[in-house]
Structure 1
């Protein structure tokens, strides 16, 4: 009669020599990380110069450009705020940037949707005309644009400048919307039409919510462009009460004097709202990327 063999213990079940896991970290990866770190530090050098010199006196900027301030002049920001009338110019920049973004998103999304869904030769030609407009240099149309805007009464007004941004921003925005719109199945829109939805309802209730990833991208690109733009506002806005932040910063540089201490402090004040915008939009950016990847 055979006797039952005892069960092996936990120590006997585990192998004496565990296979070592292969390390995923390699020399090549380490070199890439070091190169990326060096590249990031190089890109941060201009920000260091702007930030450190914004706390220096005018004489200290010229004698000690690369070093830290000998005396931290926080009063530069107070003087720059008052000289720029920063509260007013900040409000002007916000109104123009938000208004231009809103009108670009509304009109360009609808235009791209119509161009994609209308499969004719005319719609293809119109799309390529929008794309071709992106390669026209702004400097080549500055004088005719200034003359025409004066004749139409568009100068010295928010809406005149916003209308100009719609014209110059339509090419890239329609191009991006057009490419993204092709990934949206037409069957969704056809089902909505069968259920009794109008063309207006199909776009705003069905199509436009699906455009959230590319809409966030377009808003970010246009915000960077419009907020930092100097040339177009300098042509359109002559009134001192309508100046944007770049225009107000420019007036620290006169014909005979250059107030670098106040100008650099003004630059930092203009950068801070953009940083806050990116921190506030960070969640939306991540959601846009993830929703676009699983759509």
Structure 2
């Protein structure tokens, strides 16, 4: 019973978003939980036809931010984890303790210092600054923990044999270690992509409402001050969720393989 109620609590927002994306304003106000009868595509077309291009601009900026952040975090996290596995147990524990702080400290606590650092670097209100904050935040800590766990299962003899053949550490990491970390890379990429895509606080405060927008800040801007067009808002929400859901469905096999491989080892 408790499990069913908990599942319903998680599923109900998804259900409301889907059904209300295809209902008129009057249908939503009358009964938000009822199925669309008849369904309409006006909300989707109205959202795509907005003069401020919230969907087009927001989706593009979010996709670029996610891609740039993941492409930086994955190699940095895997390379640093590989370097860490070659250190003594005492050094590994100390360094991982520092990275654990990056996961435990709430992002809101470090937001103001992050903005201050970006201001000194003249990267505040810029997309490179937003990407840099993603790389230097808890996302890198998460990647290091995932890769460190997987690297414990990589036989040390493989690395030693490559080193005896004359390969440098960078070549060993790229040509030997990274192919072995494909399940971990899929897990890291999927988690980070969803977290960065859904992030609201960093884009809102680092970019600022007048300098740029991602899809999450675009949703916030689409809310009216005195009244809200719920039909169009649900259309925007539906379109904002299509890309991450489609990406997860396309990569779910690699995601599940990454989780099960890490569990079995």
Decide: shared fold, TM above 0.5: yes
Deviating more after overlay: 74-83 vs 190-199: 74-83
Evaluate the alpha carbon distance shift between residue 285 and residue 135 of structure 1 in structure 2; reply closer, same or farther with a 3 A threshold.
Answer: closer
Determine if the alignment matches structure 1 residue 205 to structure 2 residue 175.
Answer: yes
Kindly name which structure, 1 or 2, has the bigger radius of gyration based on alpha carbons: 1
Determine if the alignment matches structure 1 residue 55 to structure 2 residue 55.
Answer: no
Q: Report deviation, 1:287.
A: 5.4
Contact 2:149 2:262 in 1 (8 A): no
Residue 4 (structure 1) aligns with: none
Contact 1:252 1:260 in 2 (8 A): no
TM alignment of 1:41-80, pairs within 5 A: 43-80=10-47
Residue 192 (structure 1) aligns with: 162
- For 2:149, which of 147, 167, 179 is the aligned residue? 179
Evaluate the alpha carbon distance shift between residue 140 and residue 294 of structure 1 in structure 2; reply closer, same or farther with a 3 A threshold.
Answer: closer
Evaluate the alpha carbon distance shift between residue 81 and residue 207 of structure 1 in structure 2; reply closer, same or farther with a 3 A threshold.
Answer: same
Unaligned runs of 5+ in 2: none
Evaluate the alpha carbon distance shift between residue 79 and residue 240 of structure 1 in structure 2; reply closer, same or farther with a 3 A threshold.
Answer: farther
Determine if the alignment matches structure 1 residue 144 to structure 2 residue 113.
Answer: yes
Q: Report deviation, 1:224.
A: 1.1
Query: Structure 1 CA distance, aligned partners of 2:157 and 2:259?
Result: 24
Contact 1:115 1:124 in 2 (8 A): no
Residue 167 (structure 1) aligns with: 136
Query: Structure 2 CA distance, aligned partners of 1:61 and 1:286?
Result: 37
Number of positions where the alignment pairs a residue of Structure 1 with one of Structure 2: 262
Query: Structure 2 CA distance, aligned partners of 1:44 and 1:140?
Result: 31
Unaligned runs of 5+ in 1: 1-33
Contact 1:58 1:260 in 2 (8 A): yes
Residue 117 (structure 1) aligns with: 86
Query: Structure 2 CA distance, aligned partners of 1:250 and 1:292?
Result: 38
Deviations 1:85-105 (A, max 9, x none): 122221111110011111110
Query: Structure 1 CA distance, aligned partners of 2:33 and 2:58?
Result: 30
Q: Report deviation, 1:158.
A: 2.2
Residue 194 (structure 2) aligns with: 224
Higher relative contact order, chain-length normalized (CA < 8 Å, sep 6+): 2
Query: Structure 1 CA distance, aligned partners of 2:216 and 2:262?
Result: 34
SS at match of 1:115: helix
Query: Structure 1 CA distance, aligned partners of 2:37 and 2:115?
Result: 46
Residue 103 (structure 1) aligns with: 72
Q: Report deviation, 1:69.
A: 3.2
SS at match of 1:257: coil
Evaluate the alpha carbon distance shift between residue 108 and residue 70 of structure 1 in structure 2; reply closer, same or farther with a 3 A threshold.
Answer: same
Query: Structure 1 CA distance, aligned partners of 2:48 and 2:202?
Result: 23
Residue 232 (structure 2) aligns with: 262
Q: Report deviation, 1:194.
A: 0.9
Query: Structure 2 CA distance, aligned partners of 1:285 and 1:121?
Result: 31
Q: Report deviation, 1:276.
A: 1.5
Deviations 1:131-161 (A, max 9, x none): 1221111222222322332232112322211
Query: Structure 2 CA distance, aligned partners of 1:121 and 1:42?
Result: 44
Tell me the TM-score normalised to structure 2 length: 0.88
Q: Report deviation, 1:125.
A: 1.6
Deviating more after overlay: 183-192 vs 140-149: 140-149
Contact 1:116 1:182 in 2 (8 A): yes
Evaluate the alpha carbon distance shift between residue 239 and residue 63 of structure 1 in structure 2; reply closer, same or farther with a 3 A threshold.
Answer: closer
Query: Structure 2 CA distance, aligned partners of 1:239 and 1:47?
Result: 27
